[in-house]
Amino acid sequence: MSKYAIVLAGGLGIKFWPKSRESCPKQFIHLFGDGTFIQNTYKRLNKYFSKDNIFFVCPKEFKNLLIEQLPDVNDENIILEPFGRNTAPATALALEYMLYKGIDIDSTVAVFPSDHIINNLGEFYESLDDAFEVAKKFNSIVTIGISPLRPETQYGYIQINAEEPLELFESRKVFNCLTFAEKPDIGTAIRFYESGDFLWNSGIFVWKISLFKKVFKEYLPEYYDKIKNLEILFGKSNYEQELRIIYKQLNSISLDYGILEKYNDVKCVKADFFWSDISNWDELHRLQLKDANNNVLEGNIVSIENKNCIVKSERKLIAIVGVDDLIVIEGKDAILICNKGESDRVQEVVEFLRRNFINNHL
């Protein structure tokens, strides 16, 4: 069975401002590990999928970044959007393009974010094996859920029918999904964690192209009708112009909200590999190695009697004295200072800059 991958690389990562910028967002910067997020994503997928079977979707302004960081990727495996419209339109565009390239409509495709951290690759690949097998045998949408390590308010959740694993699989790690839940408050997160039937939503989905087209038409018909027009436009001189017109008519909508939360036959592979969507500076602090005072210090830093801080300098010397629970991040032309536990609000800074047309710092 041929297996295909779509990597969604269009996010802006605004919670990692001032490192993540509109011209070079989170997936293209180095924050953790040996390479950028998208380089690490491609490296692990290239060990599972054929190189020619991995496709990338991103807004056209990121094409040069993608080629620079992933020179091994064929140009024809890069699918460009005129601008971002979230994961549902991006996936639909990619699948229409793959059909245009001659890929069979009954092929099975996995959709991946480009900016997550995954370790324990053996377990990751085994989970993909199960997900592809389920998608093929049941013709279902399949998602991968991560066994939660703690109550977490920054992740979405999947509720599974934990009492009735699918008997077909010896691993007994495949379940029917009951509900999808958005990021909860802390009380709800604790309840989810203690219940034993809620998993973290990894954002990884597997399905046959034919099934996606069916459910896309059923639940997002206005999107389906517009994207379907691309069938006769690929390869034509007016393709980019017409694609831009189509995209202007689409609202931003995610796969989760547009399809998965509505469809009644979603199955879940329960996985135990290490996963993080590394959503903000607090999460980065939690994951990185720390000194004896629980500080993460990178760059030219003078630290005197500080605890539980994350401080990163790019050019300047940064000195901090006698503070606890502080985030200090120097970017190329801006500095972020906030309390730990408040880094989700960094998006408010970006929104302020946009409202006030301070575009040189975006």
pLDDT of residue 229: 87
Confidence at residue 143, expressed as pLDDT on a 0 to 100 scale: 96
* Residue 5 pLDDT exceeds 70: yes
Mean pLDDT of the region 332-359? 94
* 163, pLDDT greater than 90: no
Q: What confidence score (pLDDT) does residue 46 get?
A: 96
CB atoms within 10 A of CB 333: 11
Q: Where are the alpha helices (DSSP H) in 236-340?
A: 239-248, 255, 281-287
* Banded model confidence at residue 231, pLDDT cuts 50, 70, 90: confident
141-146 and 326-330 beta bridge pairing: unpaired
Gap between the Cα atoms of 43 and 47, Å rounded: 7
Amino acid at 194: E
Q: Are residues 208 and 348 in the same domain?
A: no
Of 70, 270, 236, nearest to 165 by C-alpha is 270
Quick one: tokens of 342?
A: 């408040």
pTM listed for this prediction:
0.94
Strands 3-8 and 54-59: parallel
- Of 279, 312, 339, the residue that ends a domain is 279
169, pLDDT greater than 70: no
Q: How confident is residue 133, by pLDDT bands cut at 50, 70 and 90?
A: very high
Query: Which range scores top for mean pLDDT: 159-173, 178-192, 228-242, 319-333?
Result: 319-333
> At residue 171, does pLDDT exceed 70?
no
Q: Which one-letter amino acid corresponds to residue 81?
A: E
Residues 177 and 108 in one domain: yes
Return the closest-CA partner of residue 37 out of 10, 64, 61. 10
The CA angle 277-44-175, to the nearest 5 degrees, is: 60
Structural domain boundaries enclosing 336: 282-361
Q: Please give the structure tokens belonging to residue 274.
A: 């290490």
- Region 87-106: what's the mean pLDDT? 95
Q: Which helix (H) or strand (E) segment is 308 a member of?
A: none
Stronger pLDDT, 258 or 170, i.e. the higher one: 258
326 shares a domain with 262 = no
Confidence band (pLDDT; 50, 70, 90) for 34? confident
228, 260, 279 — which closes off a domain?
279
- Let me know whether 155 and 273 are in one domain: yes
The reply to whether 275 and 290 lie within a common domain is: no
190 and 56 belong to one structural domain: yes
Which residue in this structure is represented by tokens 């006030």?
A: 356
pLDDT 10s digits, 75-88: 999 999 999 999 99
Q: What is the full DSSP assignment across 134-175?
A: HHHHH--EEEEEE--SS--SSS-EEEE-TT---TT-TT--EE
What region does 341 belong to: left with phi over 0, alpha with psi -120 to 50, or beta? left
Q: What is the DSSP letter of 307?
A: B
pLDDT band at 95 (very low <50, low <70, confident <90, very high): very high
What is the CATH classification number for the domain harbouring 70? 3.90.550.10
Rounded to whole angstroms, the Cα distance separating 122 from 100 reads 33
pLDDT tens digits for range 185-227: 999 999 999 998 999 999 999 999 999 999 999 999 999 999 9
**pLDDT computed for residue 239 by the predictor:** 93
197 & 311 share domain: no
**Residue 78 CB partners (closer than 8 Å, separation 6+):** 55, 56, 58, 63, 66, 67
Selection from 115, 91, 18, 28 nearest residue 63 by Cα? 28
One domain, residues 208 and 243: yes
Average pLDDT of the segment spanning 271-275: 94
Question: Do 274 and 309 sit in the same domain of this protein?
Answer: no
Mean pLDDT confidence for 157-161? 94
Distances (CA, A) of 196 to 170, 192, 278: 20, 7, 23
Count of structural domains within the chain: 2
Which tokens go with 138?
């049941």
| Range with the poorest average pLDDT among 18-22, 32-36, 307-311, 353-357 | 32-36
Among 343, 323, 327, residue whose Cα is nearest residue 335: 327
**Average confidence (pLDDT) over 254-268:** 92
- The bridge status of strand 108-113 relative to strand 3-8 is parallel
pLDDT for 165 equals 78
Does 91 lie in the same domain as 181? yes
Q: What is the pLDDT of residue 32?
A: 80
Confidence of residue 168 (pLDDT cuts 50, 70, 90): low
What pLDDT is stored for residue 309 in this prediction?
97
Cα-trace Rg, the chain: 21
Question: Of the residues 256, 279, 302, which one is the last residue of a structural domain?
Answer: 279
Query: Are 232 and 259 found together in one domain?
Result: yes
Residues 51 and 92 in one domain: yes
Asked if the model's pLDDT at residue 167 lies above 80, the reply is no
How far is Cα 2 from Cα 50, in angstroms, rounded to an integer? 9
Written as one letter, the residue type at 234 is F
- The per-residue pLDDT of the chain, averaged, comes to 93
Averaged over 334-356, what is the pLDDT? Answer: 95
